[in-house]
Amino acid sequence: MSDKLIIEGGIPLSGEISISGAKNAALPILVATLLCDEPVILSNVPYLYDITTVMKLLNQIGVRLLINERMQIEVDTQNVHCYFAPYDLVKSMRASILVLGPLLAKYGEASVSLPGGCAIGARPVNLHIEGMRALGAQVTLEGGHVKARAKKRLKGATIVLSKVTVTGTENILMAAVLAEGRTIIRNAACEPEVCDLAKFLNAMGARICGIGTDTLIVDGVKRLHGGYYKVISDRIEAGTYLVASAMTRGKVRVNHIDPSLLSNLLGKLCLAGAYLRYGNDWIELDMQGRQPKAVDIVTAPYPAIPTDMQAQLMAMNAVSEGSAKVTETIFENRFMHVCEMQRMGADISLHNNTAMIRGKPYLQAALVTATDLRASASLVLAGLMAINGETVVEGIGHIDRGYEYLEEKLLQLGARVRRVIDHPLNRVFSQQAESIVD
Ligand code: UD1
């Protein structure tokens, strides 16, 4: 069981909010502090379940973490004594695999439980493992763990990734910064979060060139020092609120976000009929009260439309004028939100990796269940345009993995939304209420 969100839809969002630090940048950067010989201070780290999971993991392997009231985190890795990421943490957050590269590069040894299945597809880690092997490590799979060892310092190599992988690129990059000689990573992911990790590593003394391109060139150094670094803001969070604003026919300004990180998404929102204004670190979207027009979407690696925005854009199309196709090219099985949206009256049909959506002005309130992080977000967005009652989104724990203060921010934009906390007492009371009804 986890908390529920109850939404009364049909109200245009209006107002402004501040965008939090990027989860997918903060996670690898927190892990990359393992490579540093001196303390690191990180700011703009979001307060999220995935972040506390990675902090728990770092803590278990001997990292000392000090957090102040503004979520500035001081990380000191001088007492690392264990090189193991256990299954209970890895299964709740796949990104735990990111400790493989840094532990191996710094301590010559790492053992990480295999992440296993996940709600949005198989998500293998073969490219992470091949990368470590190319750098000279011995990697074996034993009892459900990836075990990597390097007798001496890793050695630079040319690695051509057969598929663009975000955490795979990050893992290899972190291993390569302490390797001897030059590593070239071709077909590297160039997502802004990968760039932020590379910039962090350079700020701590690494020598990485080609940041922002699909070829990263890393000249290995013997050690990284400590320092201060501010994590970039979350383009997926910003995109989610902009889409929410477009589909509710509202007017919303998101602050603390660089618009250039979302250019393809902003293009789609323009096609949907939004009026956009932006500055260096803000974006304002105004629908002038009109229903959006349905837009075709194909997800692909950066700078194309991110797979992490697919579900939210599907929700927008479901309440748009006309019909559109949404094609998912990154993950198989990332359409778990479709049947829940259909329960809210959305007209969606699935053909392999493509969804055909015929828009309508409103959806119908219903009880729906969230299955993964972005699917949960899309159901909340759908709830904002669902009428004739209240939408109840169950399994909202997924949202807490990736959206900081979601309901507070929605309330700030005028949405009618409230959380029901899954407290043991609530369960007792609801069981009593049920037995009274019986
Ligand atoms: C990261 C993001 C996630 C986002 C995804 C795609 C983090 C913590 N998570 O996930 O939010 O949805 O990128 O932008 O940053 N693949 C392989 N072998 C591998 C690794 C990946 O075949 O060893 C495949 C995957 O199955 C998938 C594709 O490559 O089809 C891309 O996955 P990848 O970029 O690795 O996703 P993550 O890094 O797990």
The predicted-structure confidence for 298-357, as pLDDT tens digits, reads as follows: 999 999 999 999 999 999 999 999 999 999 999 988 999 999 999 999 999 999 999 999
Q: Which atom of ligand 1 is nearest to the CA of 330?
A: 30
* Beta strands 4-8; 416-420: pairing state: antiparallel
Amino acid type, 100: L
Which of 99, 123, 130 to mutate to test ligand 1, by most ligand atoms within 8 A of the CB atom?
123
The yes-or-no verdict on residue 116 having pLDDT over 90 is: no
Which pLDDT belongs to residue 135? 98
Which pLDDT belongs to residue 333? 81
Catalytic annotation, residues: 118
Q: Which atom of ligand 1 is nearest to the CA of 236?
A: 11
Question: Which residue owns the Cα nearest ligand 1 atom 26?
Answer: 123
State the distance from the centre of ligand 1 to the C-alpha of 3, rounded, in angstroms: 27
- Structure confidence at residue 86 as a pLDDT band (50, 70, 90): confident
Question: Which residue owns the Cα nearest ligand 1 atom 4?
Answer: 308
CB-based contacts of 257: which residues, under 8 Å, 6+ apart? 19, 233, 234, 235, 238, 281, 282, 283
The yes-or-no verdict on residue 384 having pLDDT over 70 is: yes
State the distance from the centre of ligand 1 to the C-alpha of 359, rounded, in angstroms: 30
Which pLDDT belongs to residue 69? 84
State the distance from the centre of ligand 1 to the C-alpha of 143, rounded, in angstroms: 24
Q: Which atom of ligand 1 is nearest to the CA of 307?
A: 12
Which pLDDT belongs to residue 99? 96
Give, as one character, the DSSP assignment of residue 21: B
How many helices and strands in the chain, by DSSP H and E? 14, 26
Strands (E), 256-369: 275-279, 282-286, 297-298, 323-327, 347-351, 354-358, 363-364, 367-369
The yes-or-no verdict on residue 438 having pLDDT over 80 is: no
Q: What is the pTM of this model?
A: 0.95
The yes-or-no verdict on residue 203 having pLDDT over 60 is: yes
Q: What percent of the chain lies above the pLDDT cut of 90?
A: 84
Which pLDDT belongs to residue 119? 63
- Structure confidence at residue 383 as a pLDDT band (50, 70, 90): very high
**Per-range mean pLDDT, top range of 67-76, 263-272, 421-430:** 263-272
Residue 203 CA to residue 329 CA, distance in Å, equals 34
Say if CB 107 and CB 174 are below 8 A apart.
no
Which pLDDT belongs to residue 436? 35
Say if CB 236 and CB 267 are below 8 A apart.
no
Which pLDDT belongs to residue 202? 98
Question: Which residue owns the Cα nearest ligand 1 atom 25?
Answer: 123
Which H, E and C letters describe 106-152, residue by residue? HHCEEEEECCCCECCECCCCHHHHHHHHHCCCEEEEECCEEEEECCC
Which pLDDT belongs to residue 130? 96
Question: Which residue owns the Cα nearest ligand 1 atom 20?
Answer: 125
Question: Which residue owns the Cα nearest ligand 1 atom 15?
Answer: 24
Say if CB 189 and CB 181 are below 8 A apart.
no
Q: What percent of the chain lies above the pLDDT cut of 70?
A: 95
Which of 167, 171, 333 to mutate to test ligand 1, by most ligand atoms within 8 A of the CB atom?
167
The yes-or-no verdict on residue 254 having pLDDT over 60 is: yes
Around ligand 1, the residues with Cβ closer than 6 Å are 24, 27, 94-95, 123-128, 163, 165-168, 193, 306-308, 330-331
The yes-or-no verdict on residue 94 having pLDDT over 90 is: no
Which of 173, 330, 376, 398 to mutate to test ligand 1, by most ligand atoms within 8 A of the CB atom?
330
User: Both tokens of residue 199?
Assistant: 């910039």
Question: Which residue owns the Cα nearest ligand 1 atom 5?
Answer: 166
Mean pLDDT of the chain: 93
Chain centroid to CA 323:
28
Name which of 284, 274, 287 is nearest 254 in CA terms: 284
Q: Which atom of ligand 1 is nearest to the CA of 27?
A: 8
Which of 49, 129, 160, 165 to mutate to test ligand 1, by most ligand atoms within 8 A of the CB atom?
165
Q: Which atom of ligand 1 is nearest to the CA of 128?
A: 23
